[in-house]
Amino acid sequence: MGQIQEPKPVLPILAAFSQSLEALTWAKQTASEAWGPIVLESEPFEFVETDYYEPSMGPGLKKQFFAFENLLDPGELPAIKRQTNEWEAVYAKMEEDRARQGGQTPDGTATSNQEDDKGQQIERPLNLDPGYITEAKLVLASTKDHAHRIYLSEGIYAEVTLHYQGREWRHRDWTFPDYRREDYQVFFTTCRNELRRQGREGQRSRESRRSREGGSA
């Protein structure tokens, strides 16, 4: 019989997706206030793989990744996904209010409203996809079931989007096209290295503590 063990902590990541750099900055600030310091962030990548999201999010989309210093229990992923859904709704309401004010904040400051290619206010100005990285894989959360997704709890599913083998990231049939990009995967490798660094430091700290306790016995 296998021994039940607690899972190792994982490195939380967040993909922020929008046509607006302002929205990406808002996502960064909101997430860091809730989850702690950002240890790594990517450049805003141009999203060119598909126009699937344009009807709801508009043209000229960009995606930026953030990794957080505080490691996560992977069992917390459903709560994290529900939280980011709430943030999306908050930002959408902010954009809706700005549109009513003619593109200005209540104090009269001009803002950059997000519109589609017909000049209409877009439905989803910010898309947030949380997940985590282990030494072996990159996992993303989703509200949608599919053949390759496993139900977790609270209406949230998880999928292994990429796995790490032979010193490189490898995709599966279901992997989103942009996650197959080399520039994304360079960033994910940096995140994986950060997780390994924290693991080594934690191991040294535990060994040092045991040594001190043994010396004082």
Q: Hey, which residues does 204 pair with through a beta bridge?
A: none
**Do the domain assignments include residue 2?**
no
Give me the pLDDT at residue 102, please. Answer: 74
What gap in Å lies between CA 34 and CA 11, rounded to an integer? 15
pLDDT digits (tens, 9 = 90+) for 31-46: 999 999 999 999 999 9
**Do the domain assignments include residue 6?**
no
Residues 168, 157, 47, 39, Cα dihedral to 10°: -60
**Residue 186 in 3-state DSSP?**
helix
pLDDT digits (tens, 9 = 90+) for 171-213: 999 999 999 999 999 999 999 999 999 999 876 655 555 555 6
Q: Hey, which residues does 156 pair with through a beta bridge?
A: 153
Q: State the Rg of the chain over Cα.
A: 20
**Do the domain assignments include residue 162?**
yes
Give me the pLDDT at residue 83, please. Answer: 99
Classify residue 136 by its DSSP letter. Answer: S
**Do the domain assignments include residue 161?**
yes
Please identify which residue in the block is written with the tokens 């942009």. 178
**Do the domain assignments include residue 217?**
no
Enter the tokens of residue 92. Answer: 């959408």
**Do the domain assignments include residue 201?**
yes
Residues above pLDDT 90, as percent of the chain: 79
What gap in Å lies between CA 86 and CA 81, rounded to an integer? 9
What gap in Å lies between CA 59 and CA 117, rounded to an integer? 7
What gap in Å lies between CA 95 and CA 123, rounded to an integer? 10
Enter the tokens of residue 148. Answer: 């390759």
Say if pTM beats, i.e. exceeds, 0.75. yes
Enter the tokens of residue 185. Answer: 């995967």
pLDDT digits (tens, 9 = 90+) for 92-147: 999 999 888 876 544 343 445 565 555 567 899 999 999 999 999 999 999 999 99
> In the chain, how many domains are there?
1
Q: Which residues constitute the domain of residue 162?
A: 11-211
